[in-house]
Amino acid sequence: MDVRSVQSIAAIITNQRDAVSGGAPIFFVQDDEERQRVAFLIGRLLDGMVHDLGNGIFIVVKY
Amino acid sequence: MMDHGPAIAAGVVAGTIARWLMLCIDYRNYPGFPHGYVTHMSLGFIAAFLGAVAVPALVEGEFTAVTFLALAAQQFREVRAQVRESLELIDAHELIKRGPNYVDGIARAFEARNYLVMMVSLLTSSLWDLIGPPAGLAGTALGFLVARGFMRGKRVGDIANIREGRLRFDGPNLYVDHIYIMNVGLPEMREAVLKYGLGVLIEPIHEDARDTLNNPGQRQAIVHDAARYLGARKDIATPEFTPLIRKDVETGTLGMVITPMERDVNQLLAAIKRVPVLETAKGTSMHTRIGRRAAD
């Protein structure tokens, strides 16, 4: 069990340009398949956990 | 002047054997390497010697000999510091960490074992010296029993009912039965978690147990030991496979998910039952009047 607090959102991956803005790097993708592929890669590269917010937005969180 | 040789020898032998037995019954998998055994056997021998000479020295009127015991206490505190330091260094590079509470518990145990060794050798040599060899051997047996009693702390199996729980996803959200665990974004990782993962429910059997299991250090000890026994599927940069424990805030029941290499639920339950209850995590609310009244 990891008890450290959430440190940061490392990346946001979405195909909805209007839904996101702000400080974290945002990766715009074309469709679901690309979103999953990009999220998987960023998660592995940064040792981050990919979370699905359920509204077409994936975030990669560094714990 | 009396001949104290046999009494001291018996004390040293009994104490050293006691240290060896306490290494053997160690369930914490530490130290799991020959040099660690040598270190702790040597310190055990020194502890045994100090314990063994104390009473014969007093019999001879050498009262200053007692100061050596203080020296020993100093020495063994350093054992605790040394064990803690080395475990902390190792822990920094573990995929599934022991956690500081568990490390502290192990370090305390290693210090305490040397005092138990001193007690065994002191009992043996003093009874042998003052009464006779049979009494000395009885002292050894008594010392072993006391040491064993101290070494057998409570286990998680003593304070909780542990049973298999069902892993399920609601969208991206992972649950063990009704307890929310985490959000897994990638569909293939969700499949992997269902394929390889196991869910466990840990139900505390009383209020003190609930407080103990609520301690994050205790929970970390549980996931560490479970992963140690069954092997962890987790690799670097696969946080989805990190074993996690979350609580049902209504009842205090814990839900645990783990993706072990050996997917054997019975052995997983057995492993969790064996996890020691950490001294630093032990709940004591029912030992207080306010806690008892609040629980009514």
State the complex-level ipTM. Answer: 0.86
Burial grade of A56 (CB within 10 A; 0-12, 13-18, 19 or more): middle
- Number of CB atoms found within 10 A of residue A18's CB: 6
- Which residues of B fall within a CB distance of 8 Å from A51? 172, 183-185
Over the stretch B8-42, which tens digit does the pLDDT of each residue have?
A: 999 999 999 999 888 876 555 566 677 778 888 99
- Determine whether the interchain pair B220/A43 forms a contact, defined as Cβ–Cβ distance below 8 Å: no
CB distance B276 to B209 below 8 Å? no
Strand partners, B200: B164, B256
From CA A27, how far away is CA A35, in angstroms rounded? 9
Q: How far is CA B137 from the centre of its chain?
A: 29
In whole angstroms, what is the distance from residue B166 CA to residue B144 CA?
44
What stretches of chain A show up as alpha helix (H) in DSSP? 32-46
In 3-state terms, chain A is what percent helix, strand and coil (to 5)? 25, 30, 45
Q: What is the mean pLDDT of the segment spanning A9-26?
A: 90
Please indicate whether, in this complex, the C-beta atoms of B185 and A52 are within 8 angstroms of each other: yes
| In chain B, alpha helices (H) | 5-24, 34-59, 67-91, 100-130, 133-151, 156-159, 187-196, 207-214, 216-230, 265-274, 289-295
* Model confidence band, residue B227 (pLDDT cutoffs 50, 70, 90): very high
Residue A45 backbone phi and psi in degrees, to 5: -65, -35
Q: How would residue A42 be classed by pLDDT, with cut points 50, 70 and 90?
A: very high
Burial class, B18, CB count within 10 angstroms (exposed 0-12 / middle 13-18 / buried 19+): buried
Read off the pLDDT of each residue in A13-32 and give the average, rounded to a whole number. 90
Over residues B122-145, the pLDDT tens digits come to 999 999 999 999 999 999 999 999
CA of B215: which chain A residue's CA is closest? A3
Instruction: Specify the residue for token string 């649950």.
Output: B175
Percent of chain B predicted with pLDDT > 70:
97
- Which residues does chain A have within 8 Å of residue B243's beta carbon, measured at their own beta carbons? 1
Give the tokens for residue B45: 């021998």
State residue B176's pLDDT score.
97
Residue A61 CA: distances (Å) to CA of A38, A52, B118, B128, B167: 14, 11, 51, 66, 23
Mean pLDDT of chain B: 90
Cross-chain CB nearest to A47 (options B99, B216, B236): B236
Q: Is A1–B183 a contact, with Cβ atoms under 8 angstroms apart? A: no
What is the average pLDDT across B48-56?
Answer: 90
Higher pLDDT, B4 or B27: B4
What are the boundaries of each domain within chain B? 5-150, 157-295
pLDDT number for residue B33: 72
First-to-final CA distance of chain B: 65
Contacts of residue B99, Cβ cutoff 8 Å, sequence gap at least 6: A3, B91, B216, B217, B220, B221, B224
Helix (H, G, I), strand (E, B) or coil at B119: helix
